[in-house]
Structure 1
Amino acid sequence: MDIKILADSACDLTADYYNKYDIAFIPLTVRLDDKDYEDVKTIDPKTVYHAMRDGKTPKTSQASAQRFKSIFTSHAEANQPLVYLAFSSQLSGTYQAAKMMEQEVKESYPDAPIHVIDTKCASLGYGLVVLHAAKLAKQGAALQRIVESSKSCALHMEHIFTVDNLEYLYRGGRVSRTAAFVGSLLKIKPILHVEDGKLIPLEKIRGSKKLFHRMLEIMEERGDDLSNQTIAISHGDDFERAEQLASMIKEKFHVKDVIIEMVGSVIGAHSGPGTIALFFLNDTDFDRPA
């Protein structure tokens, strides 16, 4: 029986990927102008970024537990294998909601082939893990192989990113009011990464010219076999700079496959317009799709 891969909208994949690899997704919620919207389905990132540039502060919330229960129950009843790869538990309560519903459904269907995995990844770093699992499923890989290989992929996924305006991170509680003010005043650009699922400040760069060069240095220090892996870049409504970074990566590391997509509404609501994020593997010595 086919193995279904489920993701949530924080993976920042587009409909093309969902359709091509038969990936199911569950939307997180974005609240804007006192209305709730389903990410991807009823709101798009550009709407969120325009609102933020106008001074609005969108809020986000986790996916519905009841929706997970419905999906898990239908797969349990059909005895169809399902692997749900979740947005980092350190950044959203969605994983916990899914885990709770998995346990509830398995009280009635103890042998249900349902697996819920905390990727501890975000945006296209998370998206690359989802694609990894979906490609294995499409190739007919066994359920346990998909589960274990996806965990390895998530464990070795690097997230290196910067934001254009520290104000948005301040609003999200990631930096202090003073740091945001001083950073804006001195044109300091932060470089952050994800460590055990959490956003962690890494360095501060003075001036944007040095920024991409330093990101590539970090990529070189941490990356493994870069020319033979898929690299991903996500951007907060700044495709031009994302393309610039992609060109630098292709030239420096001879990378053939670079995915560029927009940072979605949920993550973008916290990182803001102008965010540039880079994703790659720090170890490729694990079971990967052919």
Structure 2
Amino acid sequence: MRIGLVVDSACDLPLDYLQRHDVTILPITVRIGEAVLADHRDEEATLEFLHAHVAERGAEAETMPFTVQQIHDLFLERLVIEYDYVFCMTITRSRSPIFDNAQQASFSILNDYKPVRAAAGNATPFALRVVDTQNLFAAQGITAVEAIRLRDAGEGAPKIRARLENLALHTHGYMIPRDLYYLRARARKKNDRSVSLLSAALGSALDIKPVLRGYRGETSATAKVKGFEPAVQKLFDFTVERIRAGLMTPTVCLSYGGELEEMRALPGYTGLRQACLDNNIELFESVMSLTGMVNVGKGAVVVAFAAENAPALS
């Protein structure tokens, strides 16, 4: 069985890794004023757009995910011909319409695929599954990497489906934003009242940085630390503890809203990297998607892993 994998462009994994493993990307288009860029996870294009627009006007951006019709057309034009079963893994449905769009598109895809496959000389059935990763950004990468590993190991679709849906329940994504005022301005643009003016003002005045946790579709602050670099150090050290305690998959994903060399210079990074090497954990590092940066601001750090019964950072 030919198994295909699809992610949206908010999934923070290196583009060369996704291309090497034939993972299809659903692009999210970002518009800031007259400037428009379809995010295909091209790090160079993302950084150019970041330096030109995001720092000044990113909070005003509009993000436009693939519509139901665009997803339908992508599958009918290519994926139903190239594969027999496709897993489409999306950013958490609590923060984006991509899951719902893909789910709605799946009904018409399954109704319309037969003549397309027949014309390509294939009369066998086609199936697909839309998986809500229940997380964002680097944390979406945990599920995608596991899907690649299972497919490359020759596992069948039922086992992959069960594993991915279980893994989504145990994936932890932690983020530290640099600029709470930006985060609040962006939240107001999206009618999200999770960051109040008071907390943004206090946090900025006192240089208090929240550590935000994405888990099972919910985002909440689990800790507050004075100073961005001490907060990052605490998060990286916490991740080392979780690695030593044992992860569900041999994977840690990092993403950063800027040049990766800046992230690698942050305190605690070297220790985290060494802990991954010592424990046979694959460390994925990527520039945060343009979608992620316009939503949480330049310079944010995200760390993700999957673990059962893991306590939240506090």
Match in the other structure for 1:235: 256
SS at match of 1:69: helix
- Could you tell me whether the CA contact under 8 Å between 1:231 and 1:258 is conserved in 2? yes
- Could you tell me whether the CA contact under 8 Å between 1:163 and 1:190 is conserved in 2? yes
Greater shift after overlay, 211-220 or 179-188? 211-220
SS at match of 1:44: helix
**Residue 9 (structure 1) aligned with residue 9 (structure 2):** yes
Residues 1-290 of structure 1 correspond to what in structure 2 (within 5 A)? 1-40=1-40, 44-50=45-51, 51-56=53-58, 57-74=60-77, 75-76=79-80, 80-108=84-112, 112-173=126-187, 174-216=194-236, 218-219=238-239, 224-226=245-247, 229-243=250-264, 244=266, 245-251=268-274, 254-256=278-280, 257-283=282-308
SS at match of 2:96: coil
Matched AA of 1:161: M
With normalisation by structure 2, the TM-score equals 0.81
Cα 1:78–1:221 shift into 2, 3 Å? closer
Distance in 1 (CA, whole Å) between partners of 2:242 and 2:15 is 31
Cα 1:26–1:121 shift into 2, 3 Å? same
Deviations for 1:77-104, whole angstroms, at most 9, x for unmatched residues?
A: 6772111111111111011001001122
- Could you tell me whether the CA contact under 8 Å between 2:139 and 2:171 is conserved in 1? yes
- Could you tell me whether the CA contact under 8 Å between 1:246 and 1:258 is conserved in 2? no
Distance in 2 (CA, whole Å) between partners of 1:29 and 1:226 is 34
Deviations for 1:118-139, whole angstroms, at most 9, x for unmatched residues?
A: 1112112112211210221122
Q: Shift of the alpha carbon at 1:108? A: 4.5
Distance in 2 (CA, whole Å) between partners of 1:141 and 1:230 is 19
SS at match of 1:54: helix
- Could you tell me whether the CA contact under 8 Å between 1:45 and 1:265 is conserved in 2? yes
Q: Shift of the alpha carbon at 1:170? A: 0.2
SS at match of 2:202: helix
- Could you tell me whether the CA contact under 8 Å between 1:30 and 1:61 is conserved in 2? yes
Deviations for 1:15-69, whole angstroms, at most 9, x for unmatched residues?
A: 2112221111110111122343211278832134322323443221222221211
With normalisation by structure 1, the TM-score equals 0.87
Distance in 2 (CA, whole Å) between partners of 1:108 and 1:53 is 44
Deviations for 1:151-205, whole angstroms, at most 9, x for unmatched residues?
A: 1222211111101111221022241122212211111111000132232122211
Matched AA of 2:165: K
Distance in 2 (CA, whole Å) between partners of 1:228 and 1:103 is 32
Distance in 2 (CA, whole Å) between partners of 1:122 and 1:97 is 17
Cα 1:263–1:251 shift into 2, 3 Å? same
Matched AA of 2:72: K
CA RMSD, 1 decimal: 2.7
SS at match of 1:248: helix
Greater shift after overlay, 123-132 or 49-58? 49-58
Matched AA of 1:160: Y
- Could you tell me whether the CA contact under 8 Å between 1:226 and 1:255 is conserved in 2? no
Gaps of 5+ in 1: 285-290
Aligned length: 284
- Could you tell me whether the CA contact under 8 Å between 2:208 and 2:226 is conserved in 1? yes
Distance in 1 (CA, whole Å) between partners of 2:83 and 2:289 is 33
Q: Shift of the alpha carbon at 1:270? A: 0.9
Gaps of 5+ in 2: 115-124, 188-193, 310-314
Distance in 2 (CA, whole Å) between partners of 1:209 and 1:103 is 47
- Could you tell me whether the CA contact under 8 Å between 1:159 and 1:278 is conserved in 2? yes
- Could you tell me whether the CA contact under 8 Å between 1:49 and 1:272 is conserved in 2? no
